[in-house]
């Protein structure tokens, strides 16, 4: 369906404009398409395309934060970050 392709293009453009891959450590998982399909499953109606775009951006940032948290945080730092996010 062509209407489903447009949000992927917008998400990919946002991702490439911010140059996430060049600015992030190599452990970062490139998962924008997976995030898009997850958002597509939650908001599948055509009128919810803006919600899908926002959700993909949110989930991409969440994956970056989660990977950084898992890889580099010591226990006290992890607890401090978890408390601040609450």
Residue matched to tokens 């597509």: 40
Q: Is 85 helix (H, G, I), strand (E, B) or coil?
A: helix
- Residue 14 CA to residue 28 CA, distance in Å, equals 17
CB within 8 Å of 30: residues ≥ 6 apart: 21
Q: Residue 26: what pLDDT?
A: 62
- For residues 66 and 41, is the Cβ–Cβ distance under 8 A? no
The tens place of each residue's pLDDT in the chain, 86 residues long, gives 555 555 566 666 766 777 766 666 665 656 777 777 888 888 888 888 888 888 888 888 888 788 778 877 788 887 887 788 77
């Amino acid at each position: 369906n062509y209407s489903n392709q447009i949000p992927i293009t917008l998400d990919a453009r946002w991702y490439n404009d911010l140059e996430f891959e060049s600015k992030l450590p190599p452990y970062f998982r490139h998962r924008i398409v997976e995030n898009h399909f997850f958002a597509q499953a939650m908001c599948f109606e055509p009128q919810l395309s803006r919600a899908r775009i926002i959700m993909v951006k949110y989930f991409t940032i969440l994956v970056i934060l989660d990977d950084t948290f898992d890889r580099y945080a010591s226990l006290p730092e992890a607890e401090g970050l978890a408390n601040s996010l609450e």
